[in-house]
Amino acid sequence: MTFGAEKGKNRWRLPAEWEPQEGVQLTWPHAATDWAPMLEEVIAVYREMAREIAKRERLLVVAPQNAAYDCLRIICDTNDTWARDHGFISLVDDQGHRRLLDYQFNGWGQKFEAALDNAINRRLYDAGELEGEYVDCLDFVLEGGSIESDGKGTIFTTSGCLLAPHRNQPLTKSEIEARLLHDLGAERVLWIDHGGLTGDDTDGHIDTLVRICPDDTLLYIGCDDPEDEQYEELKLMEEQLMTFRTLEGRPYRLLKLPMPRPVYDEGERLPATHANFLVINGAVLCPTYGQSDIDAEALRIIGEAFPDREIIGIDCRPVIRQHGSLHCCTMQFPEAKIVNSEK
């Protein structure tokens, strides 16, 4: 299987999230998951996400037999609902082809049981639900929430996650980077070394911290309160982002998102962040946390990065109680299309 450079250029690439999409996957909450004590609350959030997605593109719902939902669904046993991390990572080329990369999901470094979730992709593919070439990458642990792509050769990730225990040891950082470049058809990897959020059990997924947006824009979480326990790490992350340059050597446009006021569950601070939004065709679905002033400001700033899309807030207070948010619940499938190019 050949990835990466072909006739002097990268044939396969990981598209940016804002490129045209065919559909989005949701893995539905049910009573055998950690959602059981608040199942109706979280299903209400999933229904809202589902409605907004289905207005604009295909909705693929993965659920066990006893998890009823009033649309077409794929029957499949699941451990949990975090489609971002157990879902396919999809590549496209300029000839209208798609590759479906099936990486190992091991419960964020063997923290949680994940055998059923790790089998979802093969089940979907064998059922004929997804078009594309299946690629077995199960020898490598990689979660969709741990990487961001600008669609033109740069992959962003965090050292906190990809170098965390029980992921891909004994591989070194350089070996992991080489694997990312090889598999994803990229030219470079930019590593973010700071920014962990209190209550985060992913070891620092980038989709809670920094998001790449059109026109070389980085949306990132900031913190202006020196008394906040996250202040120092987020300040160091901001300083590092200021040093990053595009492939053309220009600084990125930086837009800072406000830090929500602390959200707690039974005395535990949760990793609430507005960076965990989902870009879909014509819209951006953004998490909100019942903080009208901060939510409004965050949605306004996200709108600056995506001026051509409708900005839709979805109350994710039930979802954040399990330490994830809107983007974590979803996985998009890019549209594969033929791109005309001069020979």
Question: Residues 31, 34, 35, CA angle at the centre, nearest 5°?
Answer: 60
Contacts of 270 (CB under 8 A, 6+ apart): 199, 263, 264, 320, 321, 323
Distance CA 191, CA 199 (A): 22
In the residue annotation, 328 being an active-site residue is answered as yes
Q: What is residue 14's three-state secondary structure?
A: coil
Report phi then psi at 44, rounded to 5.
Answer: -60, -40
Is residue 278 classed as helix, strand or coil in its secondary structure? strand
Amino acid found at 259: M
Q: What DSSP element (H or E) covers 26?
A: strand 21-27
User: Are 106 and 156 within 8 A, CB to CB?
Assistant: no
Element (H, E) at 60: strand 58-63
Nearest to 204 by CA among 259, 160, 155, 141: 160
Q: Which residue in the list 137, 316, 328, 329 is annotated as catalytic?
A: 328
Chain mean position to CA 215: 19
Give the residue numbers marked as catalytic: 328
